[in-house]
């Protein structure tokens, strides 16, 4: 009898489908099968097998806007389920995916500072927590567009920011996040966001983003629009598609392609505004609370040209933009971005500001988004379209037709691009009156913005998970211009590459190097009066005996390679910046045995060391804060690309210093 039962069981098992007997394989193995050679390490082992692929309609809008659209199976190429408790996320802790920010975001005049301790992984999710502090009890650094670094201590609020800059970037695909929003839907103030930026700009570091953000442009010319706004207007594109002038940057030494326009565009997957709507049009339109779904782009199109079509019935999407027509839940109302830019004639036909255009929509959210998890998705087809989803429902599309050439008879702007740069992920929780009203006394502290997972899917035949892909390299430019991106010694670990073809500096803010000063034959310290820490770095590079420097109050103090010590200087506002020199290709700082630099120009007088009868130069005036604007990433920046010394007087001073050292 036992034998009969065994035979029956065997026959029953044999009749089952093979799939029922085969355990599902991990998503990393599924990626290896679908895309041999793809890097499996970006796929979290905790991602469930039923999430290894995503069915997405990737074709044109007309093909996808049907009841049963054709779909493509996209493969999971990056994920984080945040199941590992207590991940170390600060800059010096070596997390392979994420870095928690330690900064004040000055571009939007935030009311909080970001601290790594406010970003934690717990209970299977990532938590960004905002809470009150005693004024002056916490501090954070803030890089300005001219390279000065402020020390901000008096905000009384601390919150969380985390990104994957220069670690995990991707180009194209479908990205999805499952999140629960902070606070209450009807109390204005909290500003949670999840967004993407091109790797050539580090968000919140304004010297890195000046002339990079939010350019998505590969044409020569057409960027004159907005010049009438002066300093409040757009910063010229740092690397345009025009031929570089003879004295311009040498792109080859940074691994950049000649004649290629580069930038750091921005796409917001979600950017939530809470409160109660007032003064909206008298028609059925989304009400607060809602999320914004914008693409930020530069250069701006000319005055008198619009994203939209306006007639007596209202404002509608123009060519290349689409809102949902079918199948969305009754509560999920969407409409065009509601923001009147300087060239607009109404509040929807031309959103933007004096630096950029913003094409986008906003979608109403229901209260459950604040009490449970919901998904936000974006399908990004580089050069073709961006398509947003909420809980799987299509809510907005912009495609290349919307970014076509525009002309007003005076200015012509060639086509901008649906982003093609490698982009990284950013998640943050802010407070800023530049974004909307803040009822601080009505908000609940502490509050958390929680993220259950982040996943990225791509066509298995076109996997691109890299911050420096061959067609759009970033590695050498960042490695050779670290001072634009990194503010502390701990942050140096965020850039693994060595600068191969040029001398560079590794700099830290609010640190002074004591001792080790280079002196002239008369015993005075060797110093130079220079406009910025970047110029101090470049001057030190050209002195063979200079291995380090301190820049403080417009004076550059040259140091030897040894015999100095570090001293922290956490004073208010801007403080000293100090750095060490690395010769081209070197993995260690310059030593006294470093080869001499090329012959220098003829010498000129060297600024003397300050004495009691010769007071030091006045401190640099603090840069004026940016004007209040609606969108988060308004930037004050510099177009400096880190090339040759831009001051003839400075070059002559460096030559004089070199001559003195030889006497």
Q: Which of 13-22, 190-199, 223-232, 240-249 has the lowest mean pLDDT?
A: 13-22
The 10s digit of each residue's pLDDT in 403-412 is 999 999 999 9
pLDDT tens-digit map of 288-344:
899 999 999 999 999 999 988 887 777 889 999 999 987 788 889 888 888 888 999
Phi, psi torsion values for 358, nearest 5 degrees: -135, 110
- Which of these, 421, 403, 381, lies nearest to 299 by C-alpha position? 403
3-class DSSP assignment, residue 660: helix
pLDDT band at residue 656 using 50, 70 and 90 as cut-offs: low
Domain boundaries, the chain: 79-458, 475-636+643-662
How sure is the predictor about 572, in pLDDT bands with cuts at 50, 70 and 90? low
Of 116, 125, 25, 48, the residue nearest 488 (C-alpha): 116
Confidence of residue 7 (pLDDT cuts 50, 70, 90): very low
What is the mean predicted confidence (pLDDT) over 205-226?
A: 94
Closest-CA residue to 71 (of 377, 319, 379, 391):
379
Least confident of 3-12, 164-173, 188-197, 493-502: 3-12
Whether residue 272 is predicted with pLDDT greater than 90 in this model: the reply is yes
Does residue 158 contact residue 363 with C-beta atoms inside 8 Å?
no
pLDDT at 247 over 70: yes
Output the pLDDT for position 279: 55
The DSSP H or E segment spanning 4 is helix 2-14
User: Which residue matches tokens 């007071």?
Assistant: 615
pLDDT in tens, 536-559: 999 999 999 999 999 998 999 999
Selection from 510, 611, 613 nearest residue 552 by Cα: 510
Query: Per CATH, is 79-458 categorized as 2.60.120.200?
Result: yes
Select from 159, 157, 162 the least CA-distant residue to 194: 162
Helical (H) or strand (E) element with 651? helix 648-662
Distance between CA atoms of residues 261 and 188, nearest Å: 39
Categorize the per-residue pLDDT at 658 as very low, low, confident or very high, splitting at 50, 70 and 90. low
Is residue 206 within 8 A of residue 507, CB to CB? The reply is: no
Of residues 352, 434, 449, the one with CA closest to residue 107: 434
Per DSSP, what are the bridge partners of residue 552? 555
The conformational region for residue 380 under phi > 0 = left, psi -120 to 50 = alpha, else beta, is: beta
Pairing of strands 447-458, 173-180: antiparallel
pLDDT tops 50 at residue 207: yes
Phi, psi dihedrals of residue 82, rounded to the nearest 5°: 55, 35
What tokens appear for 478 in the block? 């960042």
**Tens of pLDDT along 57-67?**
999 999 999 98
Q: Using pLDDT thresholds of 50, 70 and 90, give the confidence band for residue 571.
A: low
Q: Please report the beta strands in 24-71, taking only residues with DSSP state E, as ranges in sequence order.
A: 53-56
Q: Is the pLDDT of residue 1 over 80?
A: no
Average pLDDT over residues 490-504: 96
Angle, alpha carbons 239-242-244 (nearest 5°): 70
- The answer to whether residue 130 scores a pLDDT higher than 50 is yes
C-alpha distances in Å from residue 63, one per residue of 68, 69, 323: 10, 7, 15
- Predicted TM-score (pTM) of this structure: 0.87
Query: Which strand ranges, in their side-by-side order, compose the sheet holding 140-143?
Result: 140-143, 149-152, 573-574
Give the separation between CA 406 and CA 411, rounded to whole angstroms.
8
pLDDT confidence bin for 154, thresholds 50/70/90: confident
Q: Establish how many alpha carbons lie within 13 A of residue 593's alpha carbon, considering only the half-sphere containing its beta carbon.
A: 2
With bands split at pLDDT 50, 70 and 90, how would you rate the model's confidence at 93?
very high
65 Cα distance to chain centroid = 32
Task: Report the chain's C-alpha Rg in angstroms.
Answer: 27
CATH 3.40.50.720 fits 475-636+643-662, yes or no: no
State the virtual CA torsion across 168, 169, 173, 178 in degrees, nearest 10. 50
Strand ranges inside 199-333, DSSP E: 266-273, 290-297, 308-311, 314-317, 321-322
Average of per-residue pLDDT values in the chain: 86
Q: How far apart are CA 389 and CA 236, in angstroms?
A: 33
- Beta strands 406-407 and 393-399 are unpaired
Statement: residue 15 has pLDDT above 90: no
447 half-sphere exposure, CB direction, 13 A CA radius = 24
- Enumerate residues 6+ apart whose C-beta is below 8 A from 200: 208, 212, 262, 263, 264, 421, 474, 477, 478
HSE-up (13 A, CA, CB side) for residue 578:
25
Whole-number pLDDT of residue 653: 54
The yes-or-no verdict on residue 624 having pLDDT over 50 is no
Average pLDDT estimate for 421-432: 98
134 φ/ψ angles, rounded to the nearest 5 degrees = -75, 130
Residue 20: the pLDDT is 45
What is residue 433's three-state secondary structure?
Answer: coil
- Describe the strand order of the beta sheet including 527-529 as a list of residue ranges: 504-509, 577-582, 548-552, 555-559, 527-529
Residue 269, φ and ψ in degrees, nearest 5: -75, -40
DSSP 3-state of 495: coil
Question: In the chain, pLDDT over 90 holds for what percent of residues?
Answer: 73
Residue 396 contacts residue 361 (beta carbons within 8 Å): yes
Q: Where are the beta strands (DSSP E) in 497-610?
A: 504-509, 511-514, 527-529, 548-552, 555-559, 565-568, 573-574, 577-582
pLDDT at 380 over 80: yes
State yes or no: pLDDT of 264 exceeds 90.
Answer: yes
Residue, of 451 and 640, whose pLDDT is higher: 451
Peptide bond just before 342 cis, omega within 30 deg: no
Largest CA distance in the chain: 112
State the helix-helix crossing angle for 533-541 and 648-662, rounded to 10 degrees.
Answer: 40
Torsion angles phi and psi, residue 326, rounded to 5? -155, 150
574 in Cβ contact with 149 (< 8 Å): yes
Q: Which of 512, 478, 510, 471 is nearest to 492 (CA)?
A: 478
Confidence of residue 643 (pLDDT cuts 50, 70, 90): very low
Residue 3 pLDDT: 52
Backbone φ and ψ of 603, nearest 5°: -75, 160
598 has pLDDT over 70: no
pLDDT band at 375 (very low <50, low <70, confident <90, very high): very high
Residue (of 190, 144, 199) closest to 635 by Cα position: 144
The confidence score (pLDDT) of residue 35 equals 98
């Amino acid at each position: 009898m036992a034998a009969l039962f065994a035979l029956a069981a065997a026959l029953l098992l044999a009749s089952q489908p093979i799939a029922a007997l085969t355990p599902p394989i991990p998503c990393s193995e599924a990626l290896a099968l679908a895309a041999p050679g793809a890097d499996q390490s970006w796929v979290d082992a905790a991602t469930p097998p039923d999430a290894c692929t995503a069915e997405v309609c990737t074709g044109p809008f007309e093909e996808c806007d049907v009841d049963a659209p054709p779909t493509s199976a996209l493969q999971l190429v990056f994920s984080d389920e945040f199941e590992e408790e207590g991940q170390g996320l600060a800059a010096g802790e070596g997390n392979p995916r994420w870095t928690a920010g330690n900064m004040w975001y000055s571009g939007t005049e935030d009311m909080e500072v970001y601290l790594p301790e406010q970003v934690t992984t717990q209970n299977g999710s990532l938590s960004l927590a905002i809470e009150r502090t005693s004024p002056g009890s916490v501090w954070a650094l803030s890089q300005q567009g001219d390279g000065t670094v402020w020390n901000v201590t008096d905000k009384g609020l601390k919150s969380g920011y985390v990104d994957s800059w220069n670690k995990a970037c991707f180009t194209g695909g479908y990205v999805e996040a499952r999140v629960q929003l902070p606070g209450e839907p009807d109390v204005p103030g909290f500003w949670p966001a999840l967004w993407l930026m091109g790797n050539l700009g580090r968000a919140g570091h304004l010297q890195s983003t000046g002339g990079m953000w939010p350019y998505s442009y590969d044409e020569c010319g057409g960027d004159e629009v907005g010049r009438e706004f002066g300093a409040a207007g757009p910063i010229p594109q740092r690397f345009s598609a025009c031929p570089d002038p003879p004295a311009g940057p040498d792109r080859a030494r940074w691994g950049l392609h000649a004649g290629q326009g580069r930038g750091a565009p921005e796409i917001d997957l979600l950017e939530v505004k809470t409160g109660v709507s007032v003064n909206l049009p008298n028609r059925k339109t989304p009400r607060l609370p809602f999320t914004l779904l914008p693409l930020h782009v530069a250069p701006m199109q000319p005055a008198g040209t619009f994203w939209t079509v306006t007639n007596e019935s209202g404002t509608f999407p123009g060519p290349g933009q689409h809102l949902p027509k079918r199948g969305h839940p009754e509560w999920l109302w969407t409409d065009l971005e509601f923001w009147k830019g300087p060239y607009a004639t109404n509040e929807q036909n031309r959103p933007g500001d004096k630096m950029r255009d913003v094409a986008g929509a906003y979608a109403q959210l229901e209260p459950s988004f604040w009490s449970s998890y919901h998904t936000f998705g974006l399908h990004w087809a580089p050069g073709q379209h961006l398509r947003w989803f909420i809980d799987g429902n299509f809510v907005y599309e912009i495609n290349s037709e919307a970014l076509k050439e525009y002309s007003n008879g005076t200015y012509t702007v060639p086509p901008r691009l649906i982003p093609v740069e490698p982009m990284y992920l950013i998640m943050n929780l802010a407070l800023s009156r530049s974004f909307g009203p803040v009822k601080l006394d009505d908000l609940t502290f502490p509050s958390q913005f929680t993220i259950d997972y982040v996943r990225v899917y791509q066509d298995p035949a076109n996997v691109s998970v890299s911050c420096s892909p061959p067609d759009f390299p970033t590695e050498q430019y960042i490695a050779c211009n670290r001072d634009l991106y990194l503010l502390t010694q701990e942050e140096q670990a965020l850039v693994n590459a060595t600068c191969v073809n040029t001398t560079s500096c590794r700099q830290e803010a609010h640190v002074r190097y004591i001792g080790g000063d280079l002196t002239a034959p008369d015993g005075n310290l060797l110093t130079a009066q220079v406009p910025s820490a970047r110029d101090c770095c470049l001057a030190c590079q050209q002195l063979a005996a200079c291995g380090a420097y301190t820049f403080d109050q417009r004076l550059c103090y040259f140091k030897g390679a040894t015999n100095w010590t570090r001293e922290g200087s956490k004073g208010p506002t801007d403080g000293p910046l100090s750095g060490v020199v690395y010769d081209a290709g070197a993995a260690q700082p310059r030593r006294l045995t470093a080869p001499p630099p090329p012959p220098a120009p003829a010498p000129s007088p060297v600024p003397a060391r300050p004495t009691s009868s010769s007071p030091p130069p006045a401190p640099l005036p603090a840069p004026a804060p940016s004007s209040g604007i609606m969108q988060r990433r308004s930037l004050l920046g510099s177009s400096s690309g880190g090339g040759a010394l831009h001051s003839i007087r400075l070059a002559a001073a460096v030559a004089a210093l070199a001559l003195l050292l030889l006497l």
